Amino acid sequence: MKTPVTNIADLRELARKRVPRAFFEYADRGSYDESTLRENRAAFDRLRFRQRVMSDVDHRSLATTVVGQPISMPLAIAPTGLTGLQHGSGEIHGARAAARAGIPFCLSTMSICSIEQVRAATDAPFWFQVYVMRDRGFTRELIQRARAADCSALMLTADLTVQGQRHREIKNGLSVPPKVTLRNLFDIASKPRWAWNVLQAPSRSFGNLEGRIGGADSLTTLAQWIASQFDPTLNWDDLEWIRELWPGKLIIKGILDAEDAKLAVQHGVDAIVVSNHGGRQLDGAPAAIDVLPSIVDAVQGGTEVLLDSGITSGQDVLKALALGARAGLIGKAFLYGLGAGGEAGVTQAIELIRKELSVSMALTGALDASHVSRDILWQR
C-alpha cells in the first residue's frame, strides 16, 4: 500500500530515493559542520503560536503582493542551482507549477535550463537571480537576457562571492554534466526514471553559461568553478551599475545583518531577502528567522522584507509573517517536491504549504496573510 504524502518531509524521503546521491545531497546539505543548517530548523521549532478560539475565521485571505506583484499566497520559489539535475527540465517544471499556483518563481544563474529555454516553455513572467562574475561583460549579458525574457524582477545574490565549502559536494565528486564513474554507476543505474527525464531535457549542463565561459563543463566540482569565476570585489557601489542595466524591480538576497539592511534601503532596492543561503555559506551564522525581527525594525518600512532559509511548512511561513516578513521563499522544499515527482511534486509541495498556512491562520485567529501581527506568537 502506497504511503500518502502529508508533509515536506515525506517528499524529501521520496526525493532521496529517486535522485542520485550527489545531486540530492547538493540540495539537502550545508557547509562545513552544518551548524547553521541545523539552526535554521531549530529556530523555527522554538517559536510557538498563541491558540485563539471563538473567533470567526471563516473568511481568510492568503493573498498578498510582493514587489507590486499580486500573488495567491505569501510564498515564492527561491533560485536554486542545478535544479534540472534533481529532475529533468526541473526549472521549467518549477516555473509552470509556480505560475499555476499564482506565486513567483526565481530562476538561478546556475540553472540547467537557460533563461531562454524556460521563457519559451512558460507563459507567465518569472524572476531571474544573478551572480556577479569577474567578467562583468558576461554579467551585463545575463541581465540583458533577463530583460529580453521579460523577467519581472531581478534578484542579486550578495552572499556568495566566496563559497563556503560543502564537504558532501567534494566527497560525492559532483560534476556538471553528470559523469558516470565506478563510484556512482550503481546509484545512477538504480534510478532509470531520473536518468530518462534528464536525458529528455533540453539541457544537462549550465544552460546560462554553456559555450560562454571556457572549461566550466570539465571541472570535477561546482566549487572549483565558483572559486575561479565569482567576483569577491562586489560592493554597494556596484548597485548603481546594476541599476543602469536593470530598470525594473530589484531584490537583494543574502541580508543577515541590520546594518546591511539599512544600506540596502539607502540604495533604494525594492526588497531584501533575509537569508543565510540555507546554511550553505557561512557556517556558524544565526538562523535567518532569528535575525528577521531586528532587520524588519531596522528598515522601518523602507523596503519589503522576505525570508529564505529553513521554510518547510505553512507554519514556518506564518511565523515569518508574524515577525514582519512580507513572504517566504522555499528552496529545499521546492527541490524535494521536484525530485519526488517532477512538476506534480512541486505543485504538491506548494499546496501542502498553502493548506498548513490556512489552517494555522485559522487556529491563531489570523484572517489576512498580508497583515499578520506578532501577537499570534506565544511569549513566555
Residue the block writes with cell 536593470: 246
Amino acid at 250: L
**Rounded to 5 degrees, what are φ and ψ at 57?**
-120, 25
Secondary element (H or E) of residue 228: helix 222-229
Distance between CA atoms of residues 354 and 317, nearest Å: 9
If we measure between CA atoms, which residue out of 115, 320, 159 comes closest to residue 255? 159
> Is residue 277 flagged as an active site residue?
yes
Question: Which cell goes with 302?
Answer: 523602507
**Are residues 248 and 279 in contact, defined by beta-carbon separation less than 8 angstroms?**
no
Q: Evaluate whether 310 touches 70 at the Cβ level (below 8 Å).
A: no
Sequence-ordered strand ranges (E) for 177-275: 249-255, 271-274
Catalytic one of 87, 93, 267, 277? 277
Task: At 236, give phi and psi (nearest 5°).
Answer: -60, -30
* HSE-up of residue 361 (Cα within 13 Å, Cβ side): 29
Burial 113-146 (b: 16+ CB within 10 A, else e): bbbebbbeebeebbbbbbbbbeeeebbeebbebb
Distance between first and last Cα of the chain: 44
* Catalytic residue positions, numbered: 277
